[in-house]
């Protein structure tokens, strides 16, 4: 895995929020769905701004995820690990960041990687909500300010 310092502070916060989302829901793993929810974690995140620009709100995503995952209550896990798909998304985020000339991975890169990966729960929800890789990439490229 990559050093945490290679993420913007906002992306670091998103990853921490993804873990919190998984724990709150009683999962023993961090999945792409938890990263998707964490993308809304701060209004200043590039990911939150991109999703808002695409007309996608957190309530809609939570509802879509509830339909996919169900609402059954789970026990609080003692250990939590990222899935192999989340690791793949993080790897893709680094590749996308490099290809776009970014110095550090942002929440926008993480969101774009969720859509690019194509097979995880988050990728399917994004596709169902018309948040394609192309639309996300277009919004990300229009952002003039780097993420902190």
Condensed to tens digits (0 to 9), the pLDDT of residues 6-16 reads 889 999 999 99
Instruction: Categorize the per-residue pLDDT at 25 as very low, low, confident or very high, splitting at 50, 70 and 90.
Output: confident
Instruction: Categorize the per-residue pLDDT at 107 as very low, low, confident or very high, splitting at 50, 70 and 90.
Output: very high
3-state secondary structure of 145: coil
- Helix, strand, coil shares of the chain, percent, nearest 5, are 60, 5, 35
Domain 4-141 has CATH 1.10.1780.10: yes
What is the C-alpha to C-alpha distance for residues 68 and 137, in angstroms, rounded to an integer? 26
Query: Per-domain residue ranges for the chain?
Result: 4-141
Beta-bridged to residue 7, according to DSSP, are 105
- Residue 73 has what pLDDT? 58
Is the pLDDT score of 49 beyond 70?
Answer: yes
28-43 pLDDT, tens per residue?
888 999 999 999 999 9
């Amino acid at each position: 895995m990559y050093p945490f310092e290679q993420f913007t502070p906002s992306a670091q916060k998103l990853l921490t929020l993804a873990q919190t989302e998984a724990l709150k829901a009683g999962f023993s793993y961090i999945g792409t769905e938890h990263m998707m929810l964490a993308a809304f974690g701060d209004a200043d995140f590039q990911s939150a701004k991109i999703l808002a620009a695409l007309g996608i709100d957190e309530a809609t995503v939570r509802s879509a995820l509830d339909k996919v995952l169900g609402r059954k209550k789970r026990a609080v896990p003692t250990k939590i690990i990222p899935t192999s798909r989340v690791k793949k998304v993080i790897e893709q985020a680094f590749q996308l960041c490099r290809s776009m000339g970014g110095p550090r991975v942002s929440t926008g890169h993480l969101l774009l990687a969720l859509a690019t990966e194509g097979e995880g729960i988050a990728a399917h929800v994004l596709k169902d909500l018309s948040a394609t890789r192309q639309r996300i990439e277009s919004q990300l490229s229009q952002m003039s300010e780097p993420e902190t």
